[in-house]
Amino acid sequence: MNSEEQQHYQLAYRLVERKELDKKFKMKLLLFAAVNSGLVYLNFKQNKKVPWSLWTLAGWGLGLVTSYQLDKKSFDRAMRKKEKTAEKIVRQSGK
């Protein structure tokens, strides 16, 4: 495998892994939307004066965004580590 093929493989692998990360986030986002829609509905159906569901929405939303950002950072770090390990293995097998 030449250097150009390795780069294409490396990019393809990163894209596959990134799609998995995005898929997990979309599932979390779907759960967030479903649960919070229900909470907002219950809140305004029962008590329109105190919008307590907005606190849940804001807190969970902040946690969701923070979690995604941390997942992205750890993903990039983990991918660099895996790539270095793979390069080391390729170099050792070529000797």
pLDDT tens digit sequence for 11-60: 888 899 899 999 999 999 999 999 999 999 999 999 889 999 999 999 99
| Per-position DSSP letters for 18-60, written without gaps between them | HHHHHHHHHHHHHHHHHHHHHHHHHHHHH-SS--THHHHHHHH
Q: What's this model's pTM, rounded to 2 decimal places?
A: 0.75
Q: Which of the residue ranges 18-22, 59-63, 85-89 would you say has the lowest mean pLDDT?
A: 85-89
The whole-angstrom separation of Cα 28 and Cα 94 is 43
Token representation of residue 9: 């493989």
The whole-angstrom separation of Cα 16 and Cα 75 is 12
